[in-house]
Amino acid sequence: MSEEAGGAAGSRLDRLASVNLNLLVPLLALLEERSVTKAAERVGLTQSAMSHALSRMRRLFDDDLLVRQGGGATLTPRALELIGPLRATLQQAADIVDFPGFDPATDRRVITVAMTTSTAFVLGARLGRLVAERAPNATLRLRTITVPTDGTFTEHGVDVVLVSEASASPYPRERLYDDRIVVVASADAPPEASALDLLTTQPHIVVDAEQRVFPYSVLDERGVPYRVGQLISDFLLVPYLVGRAGGVGLLRYRVAAEMRTFVDLRIEEFPFPIRRLGIDMVWNPHLGDHSFISWLRRLLFDAAGP
């Protein structure tokens, strides 16, 4: 590096002396929580102190950062750009200071896991129970999503996303558990009817999507006739409506098995060979707390176990 270039870099770093770097921690909390009240609670400030900090950060970045919209708040484009680099920078600072590693017995962090409503129905209660047992001072926050987006990790401080193997992600992924598609019908369906009989004689309750959900393509390829009786917007409604109103549906087995504790369901194996459906873990690429990742990974595997 030339002396001139080194001097320019040094000049930029020297200018940091005029900046209150203590603002960066509450700034990240504000950007992730999108709420002055929640951010203040998270970092241990009063609401008025957090509001004052926000005013100073707005002057520092010459940007509103957080703006009211309807009944909530939204981030400016500049604020969205800041989240990833800010989180990575603060994690590096924490590593330099060498704070003690994650201790589940005393840590008071908010653990944020994003997943579909159906996956939350399968794992949510188990996750809540395990976090309460193993990290009694922490808070578990479940974020329900449909399809993960580029902003999933840069909003709300999501630590890990649980996604179907069919969902694309630019980040590395690891299989949490495998599932399979089954046929669900009302317990009142003819007991002598096979799974194929149920599919061809009972009206189907189907999620309304641009493309028919898997594995209807298998039925179509094999020329299996079926009739759609209801179109709905949420997979979790399929077993409930089938159990209460009759008909037939196609659903992941573990969702159907959980729902069977609420409604009387008949569960049959799909009558043709099909691929299994995996649920994967995709970690926040900006999360550098390796002891915490290792702990949460083990907890997720325990929650997903038989």
Which has the closest alpha carbon to 164: 216, 117, 101, 209? 117
Q: Where in the chain is the domain with CATH 3.40.190.10?
A: 181-275
Q: Where in the chain is the domain with CATH 1.10.10.10?
A: 3-97
Tokens at 167, concatenated = 């969902």
- Residue 8 is predicted with a pLDDT of 54
Q: Are the CB atoms for 274 and 218 separated by under 8 Å?
A: yes
DSSP code of 102?
A: P
Which has the closest alpha carbon to 153: 161, 144, 145? 161
The CATH number of 3-97 is: 1.10.10.10
Which has the closest alpha carbon to 299: 285, 281, 287? 281
d(CA 271, CA 193): 12
33-37: which pairs have CB atoms within 8 A and are 24 or more residues apart? 33/156, 33/157, 34/66, 34/72, 34/73, 34/74, 34/75, 34/155, 34/156, 35/73, 36/66
Residue 192 banded pLDDT, cuts 50, 70, 90? very high
What CATH architecture does domain 181-275 belong to? Answer: 3-Layer(aba) Sandwich (3.40)
Burial of 26 (0-12, 13-18, 19+ CB in 10 A): buried
- Residue 98 is predicted with a pLDDT of 62
Q: Could you tell me if residue 185 is left (phi over 0), alpha (psi between -120 and 50 degrees) or otherwise beta?
A: beta
Tokens at 15, concatenated = 């200018």
Mean pLDDT of 154-180: 86
Mean pLDDT of 298-302: 97
Quick: pLDDT tens for 234-270. Answer: 888 999 999 999 999 999 999 999 999 999 999 999 9
Which has the closest alpha carbon to 248: 274, 282, 271, 280? 271
17 pLDDT exceeds 60? yes
130 pLDDT exceeds 90? yes
Quick: pLDDT tens for 76-126. Answer: 989 888 888 888 888 777 777 666 678 999 998 889 999 999 999 999 999
Mean pLDDT of 69-76: 82
